[in-house]
């Protein structure tokens, strides 16, 4: 949170300003309602998927197929809506949401069943499904951009009284998913079981936890959040294509890791994943606002991942040493 505030302050200071066409006054290039709302909206799609993949990472796994799941859910939903013809707004929203969520769930279930059943490392398996899902989206759409009904876009782009260029619906969905994810992880038995499996799978097995069910479940949730992101993204932008979310895997995993999720498992939270997504988007926004070379984006995000992993490893080693010293001290006192 502090880093986000610092970057926001630096952007406010160094972004410069421009003359507003309507009022004639000076407006900061970053600290203005339109830019802030657009930045938050850009973060929504990453944050929603980052929350799902955080559960996978907490359990000790990884999911590289979230971007492809997003593309497949968006393309198939857009094609289905086109085939169904005109519908009223409420039915269109229900059908689109149901299809996107259902396709995301099926993709996540396929990942989970194969990871558990085949006992293949999830990195390799989800790398394969990433190619398969995007390939299916490419073949079915014939590499074309499929528009979604205008009444669906009008719902997602409802201003809710904030102004003609402010669309808070994606942000509200992101906040809702974050709250649900945080409650699920911290306030339910199922969520605590995910931490247990990621922290020590053998101890969790001896405690009687159903490891296979838990691992399958986290991939299903990851697919679910990718489907929700696809629904929000395709309805917001007005179309879906097989190229959607290309490279999102990097951003989503980076958001989870920078947000504090440990790649060794057992650590992470939905709220931190959302903050991680905002940080990644702020880094991208900084490069654009300050007119840096766009290629620096990959360098900076890659460095952020490395720093986060190193800090997590150092923190883990420090905790292990502290526990070892405490155990030794307790042993001496007992003697």
Each residue's pLDDT tens digit, 27-77: 777 777 777 888 888 889 889 999 999 999 999 999 999 999 999 999 999
CB pairs under 8 A, 24+ apart, for 211-216? 212/116, 214/59, 214/190, 215/59, 215/61, 215/112, 215/115, 215/116, 216/109, 216/112, 216/113, 216/115, 216/116
pLDDT tens digits for range 268-300 = 999 999 998 988 888 887 887 777 777 777 787
Cα pseudo-dihedral 194, 200, 201, 203, rounded to 10: -110
pLDDT tens digits for range 200-218 = 888 898 888 999 999 999 9
pLDDT at 319: 72
pLDDT at 8: 78
Burial of 12: CB neighbours in 10 Å, binned 0-12, 13-18, 19+: middle
Task: Check if the beta carbon of residue 249 is closer than 8 Å to that of residue 67.
Answer: yes
SS3 (DSSP) at 186 = helix
pLDDT beyond 90 at 172:
yes
Q: Which domains does the chain have, with CATH numbers?
A: 36-308 (1.10.3470)
Lowest mean pLDDT among 67-81, 93-107, 309-323: 309-323
pTM score above 0.85: yes
146-147 and 17-19: which strand pairing?
unpaired
SS3 (DSSP) at 10 = helix
pLDDT beyond 70 at 139:
yes
């Amino acid at each position: 949170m502090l880093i986000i505030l610092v970057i926001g302050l630096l952007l406010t200071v160094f972004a410069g300003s421009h003359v507003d066409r309507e009022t004639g006054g000076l407006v900061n290039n970053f600290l203005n309602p339109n830019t802030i709302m657009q930045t938050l909206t850009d973060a929504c799609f990453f944050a929603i998927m980052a929350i799902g993949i955080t559960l996978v990472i907490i359990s000790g796994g990884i999911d590289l197929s979230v971007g492809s799941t997003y593309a497949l859910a968006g393309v198939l939903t857009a094609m289905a809506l086109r085939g169904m013809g005109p519908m009223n707004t409420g039915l269109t929203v229900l059908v689109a949401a149901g299809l996107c969520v259902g396709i995301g769930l099926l993709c996540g279930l396929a990942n989970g069943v194969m990871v558990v059943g085949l006992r293949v490392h999830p990195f390799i398996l989800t790398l394969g499904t990433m190619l398969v899902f995007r390939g299916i989206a490419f073949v079915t759409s014939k590499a074309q951009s499929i528009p979604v009904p205008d009444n669906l876009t009008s719902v997602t782009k409802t201003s809710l009284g904030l102004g003609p260029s402010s669309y808070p619906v994606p942000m509200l969905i992101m906040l809702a998913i974050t709250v649900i994810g945080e409650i699920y992880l911290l306030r339910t038995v199922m969520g605590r079981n995910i931490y247990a499996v990621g922290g020590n799978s053998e101890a969790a097995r001896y405690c009687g936890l159903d490891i296979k069910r838990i691992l399958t479940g986290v991939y299903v949730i990851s697919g679910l959040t990718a489907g929700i992101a696809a629904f929000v993204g395709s309805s917001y932008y007005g179309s879906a294509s097989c190229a959607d979310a290309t490279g999102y895997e990097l951003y989503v995993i980076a958001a989870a890791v920078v947000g504090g999720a440990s790649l060794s498992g057992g650590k992470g939270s939905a709220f931190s994943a959302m903050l991680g997504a905002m940080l990644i988007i702020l880094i991208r926004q900084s490069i654009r606002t300050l007119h840096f070379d766009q290629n620096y984006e990959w360098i900076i995000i890659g460095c952020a991942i490395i720093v986060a992993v190193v800090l997590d490893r150092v923190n883990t080693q420090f905790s292990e040493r502290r526990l070892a010293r405490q155990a030794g001290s307790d042993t001496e006192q007992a003697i």
